[in-house]
């Protein structure tokens, strides 16, 4: 169809920016925390067990990679171990798991008042205990497999030294190292919300995790495996094991359960909560809250957008030509905000038997359009997972066909039902574009237009209603009813 610039029916492109902004990510983090609290206790606990096991597996990888590298530069050894340990958080993100150190980001949803403090603490508690169970299960398997004897026992000595070093920190030092650790874990997790691609999420996690591990920051769930592993190796090993590697049992005197719980696990856990839940979670929430209070300006999607208009014709000379869109449109349509959950949107569209609905900002400016098909396509891409935190902004279309409230319905009808390029296959200069001869009737049957059945109606730049193919069909039925024809003939 030929396009012109003097027609009130427009194709509006509201998609200024493809990437996620900080406000979009914050909303995703809110939903992330809410879903963690709302998840059934059984499912949450089971996923927490997996996450604890994943982190333990990552520490096994770390010990293996760093064992026997005595002559390599200290920093490079630590970096290699950090890259190896990033496997743990990648497994949590990709395979699914409830990890305490990232679950503390639920403070964002808590600060928004989406659930109570008791619900928050219950969620943290079951995830923390589940992580402990997963770490303990992996500890039992590693000890039973006698992995501490790898490389002539060097693997076990490495594990003992790592565990011993963790218990040499003062309480304040362990607390500070816990803060630093979960700053990076939660920043890495936060970054994953900027992408929907699994590979991209995995890559985003690697450097923050490698940095905290190589720098010796303290992760409470990793320590649930690492320190008990050292204590267990010390308990089951004969004195000859230590002597053969130039050590004595007394060299690992710090490896006791009381030291572990009082001087490592407690301060590191508290530090993890402060670093992730307070510094990252609440910190970003306060920044965004301040930003919303200081400015409430949202770009008018009708400004600085590329507008494309399609041409006016008058082929349909009939009784509908004086009826305007505003006379039959739905003046109180269902509308969505861009931060609404896609599952809720799909439920509303289905319940009201509506195929699509506009997306507006608080000023009733049209910013998008979302259909059942858009949402189902997004769900299909994620294999219909019920754990998604996607919002309407992720599924909505930003190139939107709109119609002016004062436009006649005949113009919209023609655009919806007829593809004029197929009906009249000629160029502007009259040159034939098809070599296959077809009669007008044959071309008309093939000239079906592949266009939406629902259109937002705009008046003075703002959404004022919605018009659908069903409403237009109802108007045609009303105007051409048999009784109406009889009355006309009698007159």
Tell me, what's the pLDDT at 432?
56
**3-state class (DSSP) for residue 158:** helix
pTM exceeding the 0.85 threshold for the entire prediction:
no
CA 134 to chain centroid, in Å, comes to 26
Spell out the alpha helix ranges (H) of 146-249. 154-166, 171-192, 198-214, 220-236, 239-243
CATH of 22-294, one of 1.20.1080.10, 2.80.10.50, 2.60.40.420, 3.30.365.10: 1.20.1080.10
| Burial class, 320, CB count within 10 angstroms (exposed 0-12 / middle 13-18 / buried 19+) | middle
Query: Which pLDDT tens digits describe the chain residue by residue (491 residues)?
Result: 333 344 456 656 665 544 455 667 888 898 899 999 999 999 999 999 999 999 999 999 999 999 988 788 999 999 999 999 999 999 999 999 999 999 999 999 999 899 999 999 999 999 999 999 999 999 999 999 999 999 999 999 999 999 999 999 999 999 999 999 999 999 999 999 988 888 999 999 999 999 999 999 999 999 999 999 999 999 999 999 999 999 999 999 999 999 999 999 999 999 999 999 999 999 999 987 766 555 443 333 343 333 333 333 333 345 677 788 888 888 888 999 988 888 889 999 999 888 899 998 887 788 899 998 899 998 888 878 777 778 898 889 888 888 888 888 888 888 888 877 777 776 554 555 665 667 777 778 877 777 788 889 888 778 888 988 888 888 888 877 655 444 444 43
Q: What angle do CA 342, 343, 344 make, to 5 degrees?
A: 90
Cβ contacts of 180 within 8 Å, gap of 6 or more: 212, 215, 217, 271, 275
Domain ranges of the chain: 3-16+301-490, 22-294
Tell me, what's the pLDDT at 13?
61
Cβ contacts of 120 within 8 Å, gap of 6 or more: 37, 106, 107, 110
CATH topology of domain 3-16+301-490: CBS-domain (3.10.580)
């Amino acid at each position: 169809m030929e396009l012109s610039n003097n027609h009130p029916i427009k194709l509006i492109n509201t998609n200024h920016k493809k990437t996620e902004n900080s406000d979009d990510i914050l909303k995703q983090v809110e939903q992330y925390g809410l879903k963690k609290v709302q998840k059934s206790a059984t499912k949450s606990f089971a996923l927490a067990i997996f996450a604890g096991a994943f982190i333990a597996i990552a520490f096994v990888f770390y010990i293996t990679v760093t064992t026997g590298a005595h002559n390599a530069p200290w920093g490079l050894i630590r970096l290699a171990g950090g890259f190896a340990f990033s496997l743990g958080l990648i497994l949590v993100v990709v395979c699914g798991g409830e990890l305490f150190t990232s679950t503390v980001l639920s403070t964002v949803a808590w600060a928004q008042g989406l659930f109570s403090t008791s619900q928050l603490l219950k969620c943290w508690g079951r995830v923390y205990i589940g992580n402990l169970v997963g770490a303990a299960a992996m500890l039992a398997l590693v000890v039973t497999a006698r992995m501490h004897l790898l490389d002539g026992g060097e693997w076990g000595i490495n594990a003992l030294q790592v565990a011993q070093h963790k218990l040499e920190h003062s309480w304040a030092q362990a607390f500070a190292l816990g803060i630093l650790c979960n700053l990076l874990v939660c920043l890495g997790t936060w970054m994953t919300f900027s992408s929907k691609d699994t590979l991209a999420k995995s890559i985003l996690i690697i450097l923050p995790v490698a940095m905290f591990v190589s720098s010796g920051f303290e992760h409470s769930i990793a320590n649930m495996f690492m320190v008990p592993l050292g204590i267990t190796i010390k308990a089951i090993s004969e004195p000859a094991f230590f002597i053969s590697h130039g050590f004595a049992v007394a060299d690992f005197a710090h490896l006791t359960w009381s030291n572990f719980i009082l001087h490592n696990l407690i301060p590191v856990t508290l530090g993890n909560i402060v670093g992730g839940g307070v510094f990252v979670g609440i910190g970003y929430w306060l920044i965004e809250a301040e930003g919303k209070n200081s400015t409430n300006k949202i770009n008018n999607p009708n400004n600085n957008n590329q507008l494309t208009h399609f041409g006016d014709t008058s082929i349909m000379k009939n009784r509908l030509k004086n009826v305007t869109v505003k006379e039959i449109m739905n003046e109180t349509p269902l509308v969505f905000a861009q931060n609404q959950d896609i599952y809720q949107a799909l439920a509303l569209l289905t319940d009201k038997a509506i195929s699509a609905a506009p997306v507006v900002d608080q000023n009733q400016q049209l910013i998008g359009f979302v259909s059942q098909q858009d949402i189902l396509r997004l769900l299909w891409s994620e294999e219909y997972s019920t754990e998604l935190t996607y919002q309407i902004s992720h599924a909505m279309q930003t190139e939107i066909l709109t119609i002016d409230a004062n436009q006649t319905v005949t113009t919209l009808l023609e655009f919806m039902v007829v593809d004029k390029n197929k009906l009249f296959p000629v160029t502007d200069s009259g040159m034939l574009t098809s070599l296959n001869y077809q009669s007008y009737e044959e071309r008309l049957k093939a000239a079906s237009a592949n266009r939406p059945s629902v259109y937002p109606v705009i008046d003075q730049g703002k959404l004022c209603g919605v018009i659908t193919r069903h409403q237009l069909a109802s108007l045609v039925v009303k105007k051409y009813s048999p009784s109406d024809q009889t009355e006309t003939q009698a007159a």
